[in-house]
């Protein structure tokens, strides 16, 4: 696997430069004015979680989530809760939308065709699936794989906030509109958001977020332009992780 399978041609005019800090600040202010759904406060504080390591704290969080998430405990359309997987101390975190049918059956995120594409994207960046952390806005599959509703994203998003607080990645890649909107607290669509740095700003965390198209969208719209756009976004995320090491 090489980056050619993400972008078979040199990036053209789709590349966008990283905005200044003032632009990021204005973007966050605009998002707040929209009164959009954001992740909210973490469902469980870091101090309340049992365990000394990030792995132990995430295991405790997963157990609490299974018993206490308003969305997942009320859902009747899923077989398994798909909490997330990967390196609990990862520098790079990917957040998608929700489990699909195959993810629901396996209990693992991104294992279907979109998962294969995500694996290719991760490998093209120079990482492995095992070296990053992968999660979703929703941990339980919505009916017929539909897009998460705002109330569902709000209910389950607080548990994602707790995950992020434990992992504390240096960079988050938001895969698709629902993830980008939740993490950035905005109603702006993914076409406008992608390729431009945003910030996850909750509590004492201030993490750069790179929105990009969901792997499922890449498979549906497998054009040179889409692949070039995604590869541009992934390179920006990769370079920031490397520079922060």
Instruction: Quote the CA–CA distance of 189 and 180 in Å, as a whole number.
Output: 8
Give the model's pLDDT for residue 130: 98
Q: Enter the tokens of residue 36.
A: 């959009």
Q: Enter the tokens of residue 144.
A: 């017929």
Q: What stretch of H or E contains 174?
A: strand 171-175
Q: Would you give the distance in Å from CA 218 to the centre of its chain?
A: 16
Q: Residue 151 in 3-state DSSP?
A: helix
How would you list the strands of the sheet with 205-212, edge to edge? Answer: 85-86, 133-136, 92-96, 171-175, 205-212, 198-202
- CB contact at 8 A, 39 and 180: no
Give the model's pLDDT for residue 132: 99
Give the model's pLDDT for residue 2: 44
> With left for phi above 0 and alpha for psi between -120 and 50, is residue 198 left, alpha or beta?
beta
CATH superfamily label, 18-244? Uracil-DNA glycosylase-like domain (3.40.470.10)
> pLDDT tens-digit profile of 158-208?
999 999 999 999 999 999 999 999 999 999 999 999 999 999 999 899 999
Give the model's pLDDT for residue 38: 65
Give the model's pLDDT for residue 17: 40
Give the model's pLDDT for residue 206: 94
Give the model's pLDDT for residue 9: 38
Give the model's pLDDT for residue 6: 60
Q: Which residues of the chain carry a pLDDT beneath 70?
A: 1-38
Q: Which residue has the tokens 């992740």?
A: 39
What is the β-pairing status of strands 205-212 and 198-202?
antiparallel
Domain edges within the chain: 18-244
């Amino acid at each position: 696997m090489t980056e050619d399978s993400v972008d078979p041609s040199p990036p053209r005019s789709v590349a966008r430069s990283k905005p200044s800090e003032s632009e990021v600040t204005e973007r966050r202010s605009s998002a707040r004015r929209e009164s959009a759904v954001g992740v909210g406060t973490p469902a469980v504080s870091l101090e309340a979680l049992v365990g000394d390591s990030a792995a132990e704290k995430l295991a405790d969080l997963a157990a609490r989530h299974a018993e206490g998430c308003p969305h997942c405990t009320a859902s009747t359309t899923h077989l398994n809760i798909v909490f997330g997987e990967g390196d609990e101390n990862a520098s790079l975190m990917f957040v998608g939308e929700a489990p699909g049918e195959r993810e629901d059956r396996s209990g693992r995120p991104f294992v279907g065709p979109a998962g294969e594409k995500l694996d290719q994207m991760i490998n093209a960046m120079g990482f492995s699936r095992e070296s990053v952390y992968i999660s979703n806005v929703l941990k339980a599959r919505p009916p017929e794989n539909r897009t998460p509703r705002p109330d569902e994203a709000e209910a389950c998003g607080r548990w994602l906030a707790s995950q992020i607080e434990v992992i504390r990645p240096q960079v988050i890649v938001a895969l698709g509109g629902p993830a980008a909107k939740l993490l950035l607290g905005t109603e702006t669509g993914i076409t406008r958001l992608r390729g431009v740095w945003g910030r996850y700003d909750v509590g004492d965390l201030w993490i750069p977020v790179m929105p990009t198209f969901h792997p499922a969208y890449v498979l549906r719209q497998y054009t040179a332009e889409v692949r070039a756009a995604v590869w541009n976004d992934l390179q920006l995320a990769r370079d920031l992780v490397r520079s922060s090491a």
